[in-house]
Amino acid sequence: MFKQIEAQQIHVFIVFSEELVAEPLIKAAIQLSITNKVWIAGESWSLSKRLLHIEGIKNIGTILGVSQPVVTIPGFSDFIFSTKTQRHWEDVEKSMFCNQECNCSHLKADDILTENPTFSFPIYSAIYAVAHALHNTLKCGDGKCKKNMTVYPHKVPTSLCSPECSVGYVKKQNGIHQCCFTCEICPNGTYINSTGTSCISCKDTEWSAEGSTSCNQRLVEFIPFTDSGAILIMLGAGALVGLTLAVSVLFAVNYNTPVVRSAGGPMCFLILGCLSLCSISVFFYFGQPSVSSCVLRFLPFFLFYTVCLACFVVRSFQIVCIFKISTIYLMQLYVSSCQTFLSVLFKQ
> Cα dist. 327→80, 239, 264, 323 in Å?
136, 44, 21, 11
Q: How far apart are CA 279 and CA 257, in angstroms?
A: 29
pLDDT at 150: 80
Residue spans of the domains in the chain: they are 2-65, 76-137, 169-217, 228-347
Q: What is the mean pLDDT of residues 276-297?
A: 83
Residue of 230 and 265 predicted with greater confidence: 230
Q: How far apart are CA 159 and CA 55, in angstroms?
A: 39
Q: How far apart are CA 225 and CA 173, in angstroms?
A: 55
Q: How far apart are CA 327 and CA 182, in angstroms?
A: 82
List, for residues 4-60, the tens digit of each pLDDT value: 766 667 788 888 888 888 888 888 888 888 888 888 888 778 777 788 788 888 888
List, for residues 74-125, the tens digit of each pLDDT value: 777 777 666 655 544 444 444 455 545 556 666 666 666 666 666 677 788 8
Q: Which one, of 180, 1, 7, lies nearest residue 15 by Cα?
A: 1
pLDDT at 84: 58
Q: Of all residues in the chain, what percent carry a pLDDT higher than 90?
A: 1
List, for residues 236-286, the tens digit of each pLDDT value: 888 888 888 888 888 888 888 887 777 777 888 888 888 888 888 888 888
Q: How far apart are CA 122 and CA 119, in angstroms?
A: 6
The beta-carbon contacts of 65-70 under 8 Å, at least 24 apart in sequence, are 65/41, 66/16, 66/40, 66/41, 66/42, 67/43, 68/43, 68/118, 68/121, 68/122, 70/117, 70/118, 70/121
**Eight-state DSSP code of residue 159:** P
pLDDT at 344: 39
> Quick check: 240 and 275 in contact, CB under 8 A?
yes
